[in-house]
Every structure is written in structure tokens, then in C-alpha cells.
Amino acid sequence: MQKKFTIHEVVVCIFLFAGLFLCQSCSTNAEKKSDEKQKYVIPDSIMNTIVIDTVQKCQLVNAITLTGQVDFNQDHVAKIYPPISGNIQGINVVLGDLVKEGQVLGVIRSSEMAGFSNELVNAESNQRIAEKNLEKTKDMYKSGLASMTDSLNAEVALQQAQSELIRVNRVLKINGGNTQGDFMVKAPIGGFVVEKFVTNNMAIRSDNGGDLFTISDLKNVWIWANVYESNISAIHMGDNVDVTTLSYPGKIFKGKVDKILNVLDPTNKVMKVRVVLNNNDYLLKPQMFASVTVTNKENRQTLCVSQHALIFDHSQYYVLVYKSKSDVQITPVQVINTIGDRTYIQSGVGAGDQVIGSQAILIYSALNS
């Protein structure tokens, strides 16, 4: 027998279904509002300051970092050796002093210099005597008291005396030209005293093979970098080089590979390459350690972006692909390397994509919150 519902029961059922429908509708609206709240939009205050970078095709650049050391430019170094023996006095320079060309560095008191002075006096006297003898012989020849041979002999004697005087003057000039028995040790070039092996009142000998001072013009210096066997094929003449030092961590010195020594050092099994750097402000000092980054271009292209667009998180690199301030996508990329302010990318983005190139970490954190 079929059960019949009363009007009251029907009305109650209608209200129950309406209530359930309203609850479901409110729940759906709440979820939609929750989703809208979670969607991140870049604020205008940040939007006005960020940089939008464009992914471009670039020629791939490789980089190798080598250890190196600052050295003198051996083409602009003067080693001062003693040409005579004696005692040195009057040294008034120390290591690191800047000296001018021709500046007196010390005085050697020497018996050899006194001997050169005596030779000069004798040569001058012999020349005057030879001149007088020639005049006298010519007068006697005119009077018939001397022969032509006597006159010619007197001229030859004068020429020999003059030649001897020239020789003595040259020897004296080579040895400083001082006639008081002193040899002035002078700087042959302007630069810095980088080596000093003498002290005041020290006895020196000209045959011991040692130099007194070394002067270097540090306006340009050499960097010798060590190349291991595995990297030799990647080093070429003319490759661009960035040099950094511990003393100036934020400063990059630009140069090029100037010379490659095509032999390995027998001790540490490395090949040496030379870089010549301008050093007009004298920041680089000999024996400084340096980090040398050698870069060279390959004959293939890849994608590149600013290194400031790169984010590293959870062992993965990301960039933020920008389409609008309400549409920013976190995109994983595969990085080849980073040279200077450019990062070279193998995959993950395409040429022409726009990425956020500043404050990327801030926006990345907001998108993940």
C-alpha cells in the first residue's frame, strides 16, 4: 500500500533541499574566494622597480679559472751591478721606494775610481806634451833642423796621445765620470726598488756576480697562471682574461693571454701562461696571488639571460617567466655556466621569453608562500 505524504511533510522536505543547496553554493563561493586570495599579483610598488629581461640567443662562452701570481714585467726591469769594487755608503732607499731615473742610490768609494782619475791626468799631460813636441818639430823642419820623418813621427805621437785621452774619458764616463774616487750608483730607469742586496759600509766586489738593486716599472705587470693538462686545449693566444685578487675582491682587472709556454713545469706538471696587465695605479704588487678566469667563445649559440634572473632552490635553477603582473610562472631551467653578468641556459625557456631580472628571489618567495 503506497504511503501518502502530508502537505506539512512536503513543505519540510522542500526547505531541507533548499538549505542543502544554499550550503553547497556558499561552500563553492568560499573555495572560489580562497583561490582568488591565493593568486599572487605583483604590487605596483615592486612592479615600478623590477627589471624585465628578455631571453636572447648568444654565442656560448666558456670559462676556466686558474691560479696565478703577480710578477714584474721582465722587459721593464733594471738590475744594477757594481762595475767596480769598494765600499758602498750613502744608501738612502729601502724596498718599495719610488725612485726617479738618474737618482743616486748609493756611493762606492773605490781605489779603482782613483786609478781612473790618475789615468785621466796622465793622458791629458801626454796630450799637451805631444802638442808641444809637434809644434817644435814643425818649426825645426821649417828651419831645416828636422826631417820630414821627425815631423810625421811627432804627428803620430799626438794622435796616439789624443786617442788615449779619448779612451780614458770613455772608461771614466762608463764608471760614472767622478774624478774624486767615488762611483755614484744611479737608477737607470724610474720605478720601484723591488730588490735590495746591500747595506751601508758593505764591501762589494765587481766579480761576485750579485746585483745591488733591482728597479721595476710597475706601470704594467705580468700574471703567470698555472694550466693543468686537462685544460690545455681550452687555452688560446688572445683569450680574454679577468683577474681578481684577495686584496681587491670587488675589482676585476681585464687582460688577454699574451704568451703560452709550451712546456710543463717538471715540478708541479702545469703549463704557464702569461697575462700582461696595466697597473697605472700600482694596485698590483709582485708576488700577489691572483685568480685568473680565462674566457673563450665557442662556434655555437645558446640562450642567455642576466645572472640576476636566476634562482637556485632545492638543487634546481629557476627563472620567473613574466607575462603580466598577475601571471608569473616559476620555470625550471638547465644552466650551462655563468660568465660575468650573463648566464647561459641549455633548456627550460625560449628565445624572446620575458623573465624577471631583479628582485627575483623576493617574488619567488611570495609565489611559494
CATH number, domain of 351, equals 2.40.420.20
With contact defined as beta carbons under 8 Å apart, do 25 and 260 qualify? no
User: Which grid cell sits at 246?
Assistant: 684577495
Residues 227 and 265 in one domain: yes
Residues 237 and 281 in one domain: yes
Better-scored residue on pLDDT, 20 or 357: 357
Is pLDDT at 224 greater than 80 in this prediction?
Answer: yes
The pLDDT, as a whole number, for residue 33 is: 46
Is pLDDT at 297 greater than 80 in this prediction?
Answer: no
Task: For residue 287, tell me if it sits in a domain.
Answer: yes
Confidence of residue 151 (pLDDT cuts 50, 70, 90): confident
User: Which grid cell sits at 249?
Assistant: 675582491
332 forms bridges with which residues in the sheet?
A: 318
Residues 232 and 364 in one domain: no
The pLDDT, as a whole number, for residue 342 is: 84
Alpha-helical segments (H) within the chain? 7-38, 44-47, 111-143, 148-174, 360-368
Task: For residue 316, tell me if it sits in a domain.
Answer: yes
Residues 285 and 358 in one domain: no
**Which of 244, 278, 299 is the last residue in one of the domains?**
299
Task: For residue 28, tell me if it sits in a domain.
Answer: no
- Which range among 36-40, 237-241, 272-276 shows the weakest confidence by mean pLDDT? 36-40
Confidence of residue 25 (pLDDT cuts 50, 70, 90): low
Residues 50 and 160 in one domain: no
Is pLDDT at 178 greater than 80 in this prediction?
Answer: no
Task: For residue 2, tell me if it sits in a domain.
Answer: no
> How far is Cα 53 from Cα 38, in angstroms, rounded to an integer?
26
Residues 117 and 133 in one domain: yes
The pLDDT, as a whole number, for residue 11 is: 52
User: What is the full DSSP assignment across 321-355?
Assistant: EEEETTEEEEEEEEEEEEETTEEEEEESS-TT-EE
Mean pLDDT of 243-251: 90
User: Which grid cell sits at 186?
Assistant: 744611479
Q: What is the mean pLDDT of the chain?
A: 84
- C-alpha gyration radius of the chain: 44
Total structural domains within the chain: 4
266-286 residue pLDDT tens: 888 899 999 999 998 889 988
At CB < 8 A and 24+ separation, what contacts does 56-59 make?
56/303, 56/304, 56/305, 56/351, 57/301, 57/302, 57/303, 57/304, 57/351, 58/301, 58/302, 58/303, 58/304, 58/342, 58/344, 59/297, 59/298, 59/300, 59/301
With contact defined as beta carbons under 8 Å apart, do 254 and 240 qualify? yes
The pLDDT, as a whole number, for residue 155 is: 87
Residues 231 and 349 in one domain: no
Task: For residue 17, tell me if it sits in a domain.
Answer: no
Q: What is the pTM of this model?
A: 0.57
The pLDDT, as a whole number, for residue 261 is: 92
The pLDDT, as a whole number, for residue 1 is: 45
Task: For residue 330, tell me if it sits in a domain.
Answer: yes
Percent of the chain with pLDDT over 70: 89
The pLDDT, as a whole number, for residue 36 is: 46
The pLDDT, as a whole number, for residue 37 is: 46
Q: What is the CATH number of the domain that holds 190?
A: 2.40.50.100
Is pLDDT at 95 greater than 60 in this prediction?
Answer: yes
Which of 175, 16, 174, 188 is closest to 86 using CA atoms?
A: 175
Task: For residue 247, tell me if it sits in a domain.
Answer: yes
The pLDDT, as a whole number, for residue 96 is: 86
With contact defined as beta carbons under 8 Å apart, do 334 and 316 qualify? no
Residues 142 and 173 in one domain: yes
Is pLDDT at 257 greater than 60 in this prediction?
Answer: yes
Mean pLDDT of 90-119: 86
283 forms bridges with which residues in the sheet?
A: none
Is pLDDT at 120 greater than 90 in this prediction?
Answer: no
Which residues contact residue 153 at a Cβ distance below 8 angstroms, ignoring those fewer than 6 apart? 137
Q: By residue range, what is the domain housing residue 229?
A: 65-74+218-299
Confidence of residue 85 (pLDDT cuts 50, 70, 90): confident
Task: For residue 253, tell me if it sits in a domain.
Answer: yes
Mean pLDDT of 299-318: 89
